[in-house]
Amino acid sequence: MLVAAAVCPCPPLLVPEVAAGAAPELNDARAACTDALGVLAAARPDLLVVIGPAEPSGRGTHPEGTRGSFHGFGVALDVRLGSAKGDDMDPAGAEPRLPPSLAVAGWLLERTGWSDAPIEGLGVGEPLAAEGCIEVGRGIAARAERVALLVMGDASACRTLKAPGYLDERAAPFDAEVARALGAADVPALKALDVELAYELKASGRAPWQVLAGAAEGAELGGALLFEDAPYGVGYLVATWS
C-alpha cells in the first residue's frame, strides 16, 4: 500500500554542476526537494519506487545501483540509483542506463543520504496511456506493505516566449490545475489529466503523475504543495503526499 509520495521536477539543471553559474536560481527548488524526500524517509517505507519520464529506449525497470550520468550535459558526473547493490546487473564498465529523470532522482537521493529502504527505478514513456499508467501504479502499490514513491516530472514547457515549447496560453491554466491536484492529493483529477494537451504542452510529468494516481487509490493520503514556479518557462512543482 502507498504510504507516502514525493513529487519533484526533473531538469538536469537541478544538479549544480550542470547548472554552473545559474545554479543559485534553483536553490529554492532543491531545498523543497530535500524537504519532500524527508517526508518519504519519515514514512519508513519497505520499498521506494522512483518513477520518471523516459524515452522508449529508457523505459522499464532499473534495479538499485543502476548507473546514471550527466556526461551528455557536459559534466563528468556519475550517479547511482541508491546503493551499489545492483552491480551484478550493472557491471563496471557498462554504459549508464538511467534515463535523465532518474539520474536526477539518483542525485537527489545521494544528496540526502537515502538509506531507509530498498529502491527500484521505473521509466515511463509518453505514449503510455492514462489507464496504462494507472494500472502500473496499482501494481506498484501492491508490491509491499509500505510503499513510497518518488515521482519525477516537469509541468508544461510553454510558459514564456523563450520556453522550450514557446508560449502557449493553455500552459499556465494546465500547470495551475496540476499544482492544485498535487497539493490536494486529488487522485481523480490526476487520472483525468488531458493526455493530448499534456503532450502538446510538453509536460513530461503527465505519465508519472498518473502512475502515482493509480498507486494512491484507496490510500487516503493528504497532500502539500511545497514549491511552484516556472523558471526558464518550464513548470516545476514539488509536492508531498502522506
Is it the case that residue 88 has pLDDT exceeding 60? no
pLDDT at residue 144 in the model: 96
CATH at residue 97? 3.40.830.10
Between 2 and 84, name the one with better pLDDT: 2
pLDDT at residue 86 in the model: 42
Confidence category of residue 93, pLDDT binned at 50, 70, 90: low
How far is it, in rounded angstroms, from Cα 204 to Cα 52?
Answer: 9
Is it the case that residue 91 has pLDDT exceeding 60? no
Task: Cell 545554479: give the residue.
Answer: 23
Q: Which of 4-8, 16-20, 81-85 has the highest mean pLDDT?
A: 4-8
pLDDT at residue 95 in the model: 59
pLDDT at residue 59 in the model: 78
pLDDT tens digits, 210-240: 999 999 999 999 999 999 999 999 999 999 9
How far is it, in rounded angstroms, from Cα 53 to Cα 126?
Answer: 7
How far is it, in rounded angstroms, from Cα 34 to Cα 18?
Answer: 18
Mean pLDDT (whole number) for 175-196: 98
User: Residues, the chain, total?
Assistant: 242
Mean pLDDT (whole number) for 93-115: 87
Distances (CA, A) of 13 to 42, 98, 110, 165: 27, 17, 16, 17
Q: Which DSSP string corresponds to 167-220?
A: --TTHHHHHHHHHHHHHHT-HHHHHT--HHHHHHTT-TTHHHHHHHHHHTTT--
pTM: 0.94
| Cell numbers at 161, concatenated | 516566449
pLDDT tens digits, 66-85: 999 999 999 999 999 987 54
Phi, psi of 120 (to 5 degrees): -135, 140
Task: State which amino acid sits at residue 154.
Answer: D
Mean pLDDT (whole number) for 197-203: 97
Range(s) of the domain holding residue 71: 2-241
How far is it, in rounded angstroms, from Cα 237 to Cα 32?
Answer: 9
How far is it, in rounded angstroms, from Cα 35 to Cα 30?
Answer: 9
At a CB cut-off of 8 Å and minimum separation 6, what does 20 contact?
none
When divided into structural domains, the chain yields a total of 1
Give buried/exposed letters for 146-160 (b at 16+ CB in 10 A, else e). Answer: ebbbbbbbbbbbbbb
pLDDT tens digits, 122-132: 999 888 899 99
At a CB cut-off of 8 Å and minimum separation 6, what does 218 contact?
1
